[in-house]
Structure 1
Amino acid sequence: MKRVQWLATCLIFPLVLLLSACSADLKDYQGSTPEFNLFEYFEGETKAWGMVQDYTDKQTRRFEVVIVGTVQGDQITLVEDFVFDDGELDQRIWTIDRLADGTYKGRADDIIGEAKGEVVGNALRWQYEFELEVDGSTYAVAFDDWMYRQDDKHLFNLTSIRKFGMEVGTITLFFQKQ
């Protein structure tokens, strides 16, 4: 029995490492257009529609969100008002700073520490730890957002939700600038 466990560990662990190393590289979007300008896109009102899927790809929630962005210098405040398909209402307020090197850092009440973001071409990668509430319990999970600017009004967002390095869910969002 120990030999089978050892063999499984020797075969599965390298495979998991290999698969987790295979991810998109932000540099792949160099030169893609339209160029993503976070402050320009989110200033004013934006609406979004999205869904959450669990690790089996089953849709578990749907939601709409209205986002109002206010820019002051190198900082944008995003007030996000969510309405979920079960009637739940939620609000998140982001404060995002544009740093001298062109990257971003952000804060919100349910974010653990700071979010970090970088733009290349039409893509923004936004990463952070999030306090996810599920059935009355709270879990710290990692969010890896990839936003893609489609045109002046449209933006797509794909998010991987991970716990202990394993994907436990995804979020798909479509944004429309008003």
Structure 2
Amino acid sequence: MRRWVFAALLLLPLSGCGGGPAPVPDGFSLAEFFDGQSVSQGTVRTALVFGEAFTASFQGRREADRLWLDERFVFDDGERLQRWELSRSRAGIYSGTVATEDGDGKLAPPVPVTGWATADGAALTYDGFAPGGGDTLLNFRHVMTGNGDGTLANHVTISKFGIPIATSEVTFAKTEADLPPG
């Protein structure tokens, strides 16, 4: 189990919960943004105690409002894959699945993902597994917002039993040159 997931489980009582944006019919298109190659950089922070930087590369394939996306994370201790399949309805509702690679290099079975488009981003939620985190089922809530420069900010809240235990701040971009310095 990744050390930050284990530490987060020990620190469950330290955090609270929050709300989210409303759906926008025909709003932001994740399929359009992630079609082709993309990159990201970010950090995950467990209960304000442990921090870990990571990067990721993406290979997406779009058909209308449907997206197949391979996300390859790079952490200090190795690479992990997440495989997404998402569709967006005309009402701006996202549905699909995500499968996450565990610490042994095996993809867990896909779990359902739900969400909604906003005017400049999207929100997704699912109960699944942390990349490389083993078999501890966690809730993930992604809130993505356009930065106005072609990049997309992603604030991720990771919780257990409804209590946030970790957060992640990520920037998505089409090329590494578009990512912020650092």
Between Structure 1 and Structure 2, the one with more helix by share is 1
> Structure 1 length normalisation: TM-score?
0.74
Residue matched to 1:142: 139
Residue matched to 2:63: 72
Residue matched to 1:173: 170
Which aligned pairs between 1:27-176 and structure 2 lie closer than 5 A? 27=22, 36-59=28-51, 61-86=52-77, 88-110=78-100, 113-132=111-130, 133-134=132-133, 137-151=134-148, 153-176=150-173
Q: Tell me the C-alpha RMSD between the 2 structures.
A: 2.3
- Which residue identity does 2:31 align to in structure 1? F
What do the CA deviations read for 1:39-68 (whole angstroms, capped 9, x no partner)? 211111111001111113431x22110111
Identity of aligned residues (%): 24
Between Structure 1 and Structure 2, the one with more strand by share is 1
**What residue ranges of structure 2 are gaps of 5+ in the alignment?**
1-14, 101-108, 176-182
- Which residue identity does 2:112 align to in structure 1? E
What do the CA deviations read for 1:1-51 (whole angstroms, capped 9, x no partner)? xxxxxxxxxxxxxxx9xx64xx34413x97xxxx63212111111110011
Count residues with an aligned counterpart.
Answer: 150
**What residue ranges of structure 1 are gaps of 5+ in the alignment?**
1-15
Relative CO higher for 1 or 2, CA cutoff 8 Å, sep ≥ 6? 2
> Structure 2 length normalisation: TM-score?
0.73
Alignment pair present for 1:26 and 2:21: yes
